[in-house]
Amino acid sequence: MKYDKEFLEYVDDILKSPEFKKRMKYEHHENESVYEHSMKVAYSSYLFAKKHNLNKRDISIGGLLHDFYYKPWKEDITKKPLFKKHGFVHAREALENSKKNFPNLMNNRVEDIILRHMFPLNIKPPKYKESWVVTMMDKKCSLNVLAHPKAWSAYLGLKRKKVKK
Ligand SMILES: [Fe+2]
Ligand SMILES: [Fe+2]
């Protein structure tokens, strides 16, 4: 994939971060790392923003950090009530982690993009057009999970998968 120079400039600090690079080893779903998934969501959102005259910087950063939660979710085998499971809590976690690692990249729009990307599972809807775009692109880029119904429950954290070591 060839990325626009402009896009790469917006997300330069993130791509250089060792903490973000760890996501190359986090499995997102079916044969895709969180890193690859986040790049797809961020870049498709950036291209959309470019075409429709939205904020390209904020959408690139928010798109790239939308799944910047702490731990690979499939390795989290602790027992939790439904509303504490990955699908429900990871957007808030991603926002916390983003603020910790990239405080100078944050603003209201970037924060809304990250926090609201799980709408409608998280019931509060996005506030900005850019957040809506990332929410849709995330769903679009996750369609491979829809093709694997057995993975749905795991994705929502409803069933725990054994971790391959
Ligand atoms: Fe997510
Ligand atoms: Fe995502």
CA of 160 to the centre of ligand 1 (A): 18
Cα(first)–Cα(last) distance of the chain, in Å?
Answer: 30
Q: Spelled out in words, what is the top-level CATH class assigned to the domain 5-155?
A: mainly alpha
Q: Is the pLDDT of residue 165 over 60?
A: no
Tell me the CA–centroid distance for residue 115 and ligand 2, in Å.
11
Sign of CA dihedral 153, 155, 160, 163: positive
Query: For residue 82, how far is its CA from the centre of ligand 1 (angstroms)?
Result: 16
pLDDT of 143 higher than 90: no
Mean predicted confidence (pLDDT) in 72-94: 80
Higher pLDDT, 119 or 155: 119
Neighbours of ion ligand 1 (CB under 5 A): 67
Q: Phi, psi (5° rounding) for residue 136?
A: -70, -45
